Amino acid sequence: MAMDCDVKALKLLFTLKNSFVWLFFVAFVIGVEVYWGWGALLAPWKKLNSLSVFAAILFFLLSYQIRTWRLYAYFLPHTKGHWIAALRLMLLHNILNNLLPARSGEISFPVLMKRYFLVDYIHSIPALLWFRLLDLHMLLSIGLIAWVTKGATDHSFIYFPLVLLWLLSPYLFYALKNRIRKTITQPFILKILDGLPQNSVKFWHNWLLTGLNWSIKLMVLAWLLAQFLNIDCAYLFSSVIAGELSSVLPFHAPAGVGTYEAGMVAPLLAVIDANTATKAAINVHLFMLLSSILGGLIGWLLPVKIQDK
């Protein structure tokens, strides 16, 4: 069906019953209105160049394409010839993961992998955990590189070997997985290990695409934050990295309201006041959420053949 709605995934958005987190979300919206007023908070957007904002949205959507490429290549041959399905899966998984509380949106990934590509949960769930581990590693790596190159100390050069070791640590994990696999005989565990990278080419391809995706996304967010704050570039990147790191917390309100802003504000307190930092963080978070919603709408409209019937 050309306009098939992913009922299994989207039901999560409307049937999730967690009154506390949704009340927190409503309280946040009301709190912003009472404390600043949404009109005053959003006023700085009127001063931004429309073409620049449009370009930022396009780069954000480009990062979604790169994430789709990562997924598509990782699950070959299951995904071969089904780029549109892979794109739709990634976009819907992304919006559910961003909007739903407590990482509950992650459930949609194995469900949709089964639905679109007939990939068993025992393969898709380990792969999802691998993606998240790689995302976390890349976020920390970019932050670490920024800190070292900034020159945190007069002898920062001594940290470069440690940074290099950290950058290569996922490959060490991959190599260890291969060693463990040779000693395992239980079929169930072997199936779980099959959800992880199966060769070095796939590993490095996955690693590089992860780095490219996060580099683009963080540069867009840092640029946008710079439109609201006139501060050093190192603090801009520290702020957006901290915001993204907060999104991996196992417990957060719908759309990450509050926790995302708290993560962004923390590094900024060293150079600006909390009030200014919080308003800028909310505006950046809104951009991220609206881009995610736009991507989700595009994904929902993409025609895909369902295979789990």
For residues 16 and 100, the answer to whether their CB atoms sit within 8 Å is: yes
Closest CA to 214 of 302, 145, 265: 145
DSSP track, 237-271 = HHHHHHHHHHTT-S---GGGTTHHHHHHHHHHTTT
Q: Where are the domains of the chain?
A: 7-301
pLDDT tens digits for 150-198? 655 555 667 777 778 888 888 888 888 777 777 777 777 777 787 788 8
pLDDT of residue 287: 94
Question: What is the percent of the chain with per-residue pLDDT over 90, rounded to a whole number?
Answer: 45
For residues 210 and 138, the answer to whether their CB atoms sit within 8 Å is: yes
pLDDT of residue 106: 86
pLDDT band at 3 (very low <50, low <70, confident <90, very high): very low
For residues 71 and 79, the answer to whether their CB atoms sit within 8 Å is: yes
How far is CA 74 from each of CA 173, 283, 304, 306, rounded to the nearest angstrom?
17, 34, 19, 20
pLDDT tens digits for 98-133? 877 767 778 889 999 999 999 999 999 999 999 998
Residue carrying the six token digits 């993606």: 131
- For residues 176 and 24, the model is more confident at 176
pLDDT of residue 194: 78
